[in-house]
Homo-oligomer: A and B are copies of this chain.
């Protein structure tokens, strides 16, 4: 997590103040339930809320205590006692540090997921707007980097929309995976605390109850969460790569927005580099690189070991902050993307209409030519067109053997791009629910 690739809202989730706030809420809600169960005095629970509900915790002070106690949760509780007074002794009764730490991580990851989902929503909105804007803007479809048949720029974006729509659903599922609460004691047996406390805190913190924990929440949940982030990051890379390709000097069908004042190179006006999408490619690699450590965290020893902790201290913030930044950056790129339909047209025409060759072939066959003859007719005109940079339709119209089978009108009709776009509405309805 470095400032250059961070946005404040996501960063805030991982800051000490936010963490201590969640700790406090978990402890205070737990104390409420303990009071209701008669384990601690009701007045104590009330006092804790009254005194600390709006407290700003003194992070430096907590650090100072931790340096002595070498225990972060004890340091926090000590500081809480400084705020709350003697009633603080009723806090944390029968609980284990991990009850607080693991449930807090669940809250942080769940909130991160909310931001990521909102990020995807914003991205989807931007993609949709541009997709409808260019629903019928013709552009060449490319397989293997080679011209194939026409598509529309809107279709390219519809594909991206469908992909990120899936990512949204995946993030919702990933959030559900990690949004659980465990308050079950040293080895998860509830020996010293009633399971009702866990249920109460879960409800208050917007979590579900962890069915069985072992001091810790099982790490397969977190593995699934980070794996999902890796998939989303890979989708970011896909759209970023598409834009990088489109901005190449020779292709130049789209371009990252350049503000009037901004200069790629003052003396080389063409030198506007797709640095944002290149950067997104790198950020995708980073988020992907965090998947395997999360998977390796699953196999903790027995009821728990603490090897997962250092991993999560890094990838918890790093993966969520980086992906949040990447999604927002991609949204900005899509939103302001400079799109050049004229260049798309120029590229589309670059091969003199050869992208219609298969259609002509089919028509010749249907007009009674044998498969072999049809191939031969198409091929000789295609080769001329290709080798001499000529126009395919012109060549076909000039070929007597062709016109013996297909009239000029029929040939011309075959070069109508509408043929390729007749199902754009169908696809748009599938993807966007409207066309």
Contact = CB atoms under 8 A, between A and B. Distances in A.
A379 B266 contact: yes
A189 B293 contact: no
A111 interface: no
B274 A430 contact: no
Interface string A269-310: 111111100110111111011111101111111111111111
Given A267-B378, A303-B143, A230 B295 contact: yes
B234 A296 contact: yes
Contact of A230 (B227, B244, B268): B227
A354 interface: yes
Interface of A: 2, 4-5, 70, 140-151, 155, 158-159, 162-163, 166-167, 170, 173, 177, 185-192, 195, 209, 211-215, 218, 220-221, 223-224, 227-228, 230-231, 234-235, 237-238, 240-242, 244-245, 247-251, 262, 264-275, 278-279, 281-286, 288-293, 295-311, 313-315, 318, 347, 350-351, 354-355, 357-362, 375, 378-379, 382-383, 386-387, 419-424, 426-427, 430-431
Contacts of A278: 144, 305-307
A330 B108 CA distance: 31
B297 A187 contact: no
A297 B309 contact: no
Contacts of A311: 282, 285-286
Contact of A270 (B163, B298, B386): B386
Nearest to A215: B143
A302 B245 contact: yes
A267 B364 CA distance: 12
Nearest to A246: B302
A293 B298 contact: no
B279 A307 contact: yes
Contact of A299 (B192, B215, B241, B279): B241
Contact of A359 (B192, B269, B375): B192
Given A141-B187, A286-B314, A291-B227, A147 B279 contact: no
Given A212-B431, A224-B231, A235-B220, A295 B304 contact: no
Given A155-B189, A270-B147, A283 B301 contact: no
Contacts of A262: 70
A234 B262 CA distance: 35
A421 B189 CA distance: 7
17 contacts: A143-B215, A143-B304, A166-B177, A195-B426, A211-B427, A220-B234, A227-B291, A231-B295, A234-B295, A234-B298, A241-B301, A248-B250, A265-B358, A279-B309, A283-B310, A286-B314, A288-B296
Contacts of A315: 286, 289
Contacts of A244: 144-145, 301, 305
A273 B227 contact: no
B424 A189 contact: yes
Nearest to A209: B430
A35 to B, nearest CB: 16
Given A212-B162, A231-B220, A291-B227, A298 B237 contact: yes
Given A269-B382, A285-B311, A308-B282, A238 B142 contact: no
Contacts of A155: 188-189, 212, 214
Nearest to A224: B231
Contacts of A143: 186-187, 215, 273, 302-305
B212 A158 contact: yes
A268 B218 CA distance: 25
